[in-house]
């Protein structure tokens, strides 16, 4: 299958699924770098609907004094404002690191169709690692999950950040 993405700053591209996913994940990595530049944990997220980026976000709980200002939440809020509806049915959420419990819940409530993340989060990852929240049969919405998109780049960004902080 071929997908066309209009990813602002990079221009429209038509690629196969894997290449398109990587291209959008690079945009999420750029968002993560914005967080890192502000001394926030470097997590970035991008929401895509019908081939267009409709939301972007990076971690900002410290600078915003907001414990909910994770990259995913910021990107989902941006996307919801763009389309005028909190339900983002059929949208894809790209995030550099596996979402936590709060963000996984937001994915369900936003009706995200496809979640793609780079690096697993062994301690707090709520999608596949520490918990498997999206697989709970009590949920009224199912999300397709794709793991490991540019995993090494996403992992290295996090590891470098924490190595610098502990030095």
**pLDDT(112) > 70:** yes
More confident residue, 96 or 6: 96
- Give CATH for domain 18-166: 3.40.140.10
Q: What is the rounded distance in angstroms from the CA atom of residue 42 to the CA atom of residue 153?
A: 12
pLDDT at 152: 98
Confidence band, pLDDT 50/70/90 cuts, at residue 14: very low
Give the pLDDT confidence of 21-72 residue by residue, as tens digits: 999 999 999 999 999 999 999 999 999 999 999 999 999 999 999 999 999 9
What is the arithmetic mean of pLDDT over 105-132? 98
pLDDT at 159: 97
pTM summary value: 0.90
% of residues, the chain, pLDDT over 90: 87
Domain boundaries, the chain: 18-166
Q: What is the DSSP string of 87-127?
A: --TT-EEEEEE---HHHHHHHHHTT-SEEEEEE--TTT-TT
The set of catalytic residues is 72
On average, the pLDDT of the chain sits at 92
Sequence-separated (6 or more) residues with CB below 8 Å from residue 70: 43, 57, 59, 61, 99, 100, 102, 103
Torsion, Cα of 46, 67, 104, 161 (10° steps): 60
pLDDT at 166: 92
Give the pLDDT confidence of 61-98 residue by residue, as tens digits: 999 999 999 999 999 999 999 999 999 999 999 999 99
More confident residue, 18 or 44: 44
CB burial of 26-62 (b: ≥16 within 10 Å; e: otherwise) equals bbbbbbbebbbeeebbbbbbbbbbebebbbbbbbbbe
pLDDT at 167: 85
């Amino acid at each position: 299958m071929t997908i066309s993405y209009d990813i602002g700053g990079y221009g429209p591209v038509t690629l196969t699924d894997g290449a398109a996913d990587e291209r959008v994940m690079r945009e999420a990595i750029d968002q993560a770098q914005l967080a890192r530049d502000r001394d926030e944990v470097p997590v970035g997220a991008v929401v895509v609907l019908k081939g267009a980026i409709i939301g972007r976000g990076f971690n900002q709980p410290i600078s915003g004094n907001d414990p909910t200002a994770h990259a995913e939440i910021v990107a989902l809020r941006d996307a919801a404002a763009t389309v005028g509806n909190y339900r983002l049915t059929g949208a894809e959420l790209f995030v550099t690191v596996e979402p936590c419990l709060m963000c996984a819940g937001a994915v369900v409530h936003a009706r995200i169709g496809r979640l793609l993340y780079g690096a697993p989060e062994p301690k707090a990852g709520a999608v596949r690692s520490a918990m498997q929240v999206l697989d709970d049969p009590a949920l009224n919405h199912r999300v397709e999950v794709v793991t490991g998109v540019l995993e090494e780049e996403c992992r290295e960004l996090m590891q470098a950040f924490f190595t610098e902080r502990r030095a």
